[in-house]
Chains A and B, each alone.
Chain A
């Protein structure tokens, strides 16, 4: 079982729709969760962080965390073609061997069609 799992996609949504990106993780003691956006040929850009169960909203983005289900998601409302990118879920590694590092999923490619 991978430590952080994401559906690789591509996830295709029409412009203006809600895009829903999902991520599951295996380490029950993980405390910090991050979503990064990576455009082709560029480096990852942090778009959301979430540390507590529930929802966190920032503009068109909402991160949702459910630690009991070991599940974190990212919703993008009013999707725009400029949102087309790969979205990476990252989880902190709390086991002693994982201290100080982020564990990344393989990423979900989002395509927003005009």
Chain B
């Protein structure tokens, strides 16, 4: 059974640009969560989507947004990139709520902002 697929794997962007990251969850999984991982802050929750609805959002500025499509695939967007947005962005897929059932991570998208 295919795992969680994130694209692209690596991105280099310039400050002020915007970026869109994609996540395809495990087939049958309806919950997609996004996390940012940095050496200093660890894994920080961005948001969770379930059945195309954002159910929760972490403490990130409005420049971070996301959406989920009817096939459960999800995208996250970061506008007006800042140097501090450089991080590993991880998508987690779970059957129901990612807080209650096992969540499986994709390989991540490593974003570098220069």
Interface residues in chain A, defined as those with a beta carbon under 8 Å from any beta carbon in chain B: 31-32, 34, 36, 42-46, 49, 88, 92-94, 97-107
Q: Give the total of B residues in contact with A, Cβ under 8 Å.
A: 26
In contact, B48 and A34 (Cβ under 8 angstroms): no
Interface residues in chain B, defined as those with a beta carbon under 8 Å from any beta carbon in chain A: 31, 33, 35, 42-43, 45, 48, 50, 55-56, 58, 88, 90, 92, 97-108
Residues of B within 8 A of A43 (CB): 88, 90, 105-108
> Min CB distance, B18 to chain A, in Å?
24
Residues of A within 8 A of B90 (CB): 43-44
- Chief secondary structure at chain B's binding surface: strand
In contact, B100 and A92 (Cβ under 8 angstroms): yes
| A44–B97 CA distance with the chains assembled, in angstroms | 18
In contact, B56 and A45 (Cβ under 8 angstroms): no
Give the contacting residue for A101; candidates B45, B88, B104; CB below 8 A: B45
Residues of B within 8 A of A44 (CB): 43, 90, 105
In contact, A46 and B103 (Cβ under 8 angstroms): yes
Give the contacting residue for B33; candidates A42, A101, A105; CB below 8 A: A101
Residues of A within 8 A of B56 (CB): 97-101
In contact, B43 and A100 (Cβ under 8 angstroms): no
In contact, A34 and B98 (Cβ under 8 angstroms): no
| A102–B101 CA distance with the chains assembled, in angstroms | 10
**Closest Cβ neighbor of A101 among chain B residues:** B45
Residues of A within 8 A of B98 (CB): 100-102
**Closest Cβ neighbor of B91 among chain A residues:** A43
In contact, B58 and A101 (Cβ under 8 angstroms): yes
Known pairs A43-B90, A44-B105, A46-B103; list 8 more (Cβ under 8 Å).
A31-B100, A42-B107, A97-B56, A100-B31, A101-B58, A104-B42, A105-B42, A106-B42
In contact, B105 and A102 (Cβ under 8 angstroms): no
Residues of A within 8 A of B108 (CB): 43
**Closest Cβ neighbor of B104 among chain A residues:** A46
